[in-house]
Amino acid sequence: MSSVVESCPYFAGQPLFFNQKVFRQNLADQTAITVFKDALAGVNHHFDLRFIEGEDIRHLVYERAIFIDLILHYAWHQFDWKNDIVLVAVGGYGRGELHPNSDIDILILLDNAAENRYTHELQNLISFLWDIGLKVGSSVRTLNQCVALAEQDLSVATNLLESRRVAGDIKLLDEMRIGVGPEKMWSPKDFYIAKFDEQEKRHKKYHDSEYNLEPNIKNAPGGLRDLQTINWIAKRYYGVRTLLQL
Taking a C-beta distance cutoff of 8 angstroms, is the pair 91, 166 a contact?
Answer: no
Domain match, 24 and 99 both? yes
Q: What is the pLDDT of residues 105-115, one digit of tens each?
A: 999 999 999 99
For residue 211, the enclosing domain spans 188-238
| 14: confidence class by pLDDT, cuts 50, 70, 90 | low
| Domain membership flag for residue 246 | no
pLDDT band at 212 (very low <50, low <70, confident <90, very high): confident
How many whole angstroms separate alpha carbon 88 and alpha carbon 85?
10
Residues 99, 123, single domain; the answer is yes
Q: Which of 67-71, 120-124, 213-217 has the lowest mean pLDDT?
A: 213-217
Q: Work out the pLDDT band at 37, boundaries 50, 70, 90.
A: very high
Alpha helix stretches (DSSP H) within the chain? 2-6, 20-29, 32-52, 57-76, 91-94, 119-131, 143-152, 154-160, 170-179, 188-205, 224-238
d(CA 121, CA 211): 49
Q: Is 166 helix (H, G, I), strand (E, B) or coil?
A: strand
| For residues 130-136, average pLDDT | 96
| Confidence (pLDDT) at 5 | 44
Specify whether 136 is located in the same domain as 20: yes
d(CA 199, CA 97) in angstroms, rounded, equals: 22
Whether residues 49 and 170 fall in one domain: yes
Q: pTM for this one?
A: 0.89
Which of these three, 136, 152, 179, is where a domain ends? 179
CA distance 234 to 241: 10
Whose CA is closest to 98, among 176, 156, 19, 43? 43
DSSP annotation of 85: E
Q: Examine the fold and report which residue of 161, 179, 197 is the final residue of a domain before the chain moves on.
A: 179
Q: Max Cα separation, the chain?
A: 57
Q: Is the pLDDT of residue 246 over 90?
A: no
> What pLDDT, on a 0 to 100 scale, did the predictor assign at position 209?
79
Number of structural domains the chain divides into: 2
**Higher-confidence residue: 4 or 228?**
228
Domain boundary among 146, 162, 179: 179
Taking residues 205-214, what's their average pLDDT? 81
- Residue pair 164/242 in contact (Cβ under 8 Å)? The answer is no
pLDDT of residue 13: 57
- 219 CB-near residues (< 8 Å, 6+ apart): 202, 205, 206, 225
Q: 50 lies in a domain?
A: yes
User: Are 210 and 165 in a shared domain?
Assistant: no
Same-domain pairing of 102 and 209: no
Between residues 141 and 5, the one the model is more confident about: 141
The alpha-helical segments, DSSP class H, found in 113-182 are 119-131, 143-152, 154-160, 170-179
73 in a structural domain = yes
Residue 244 lies in a domain: no
- On whether residue 204 sits in a domain, the answer given is yes
58: domain CATH number?
3.30.460.10
The reply to whether 77 falls in a domain is: yes
Q: Does the residue 66 lie in any domain? A: yes
**150 within some domain:** yes
Are residues 77 and 162 located together in one domain of the fold?
Answer: yes
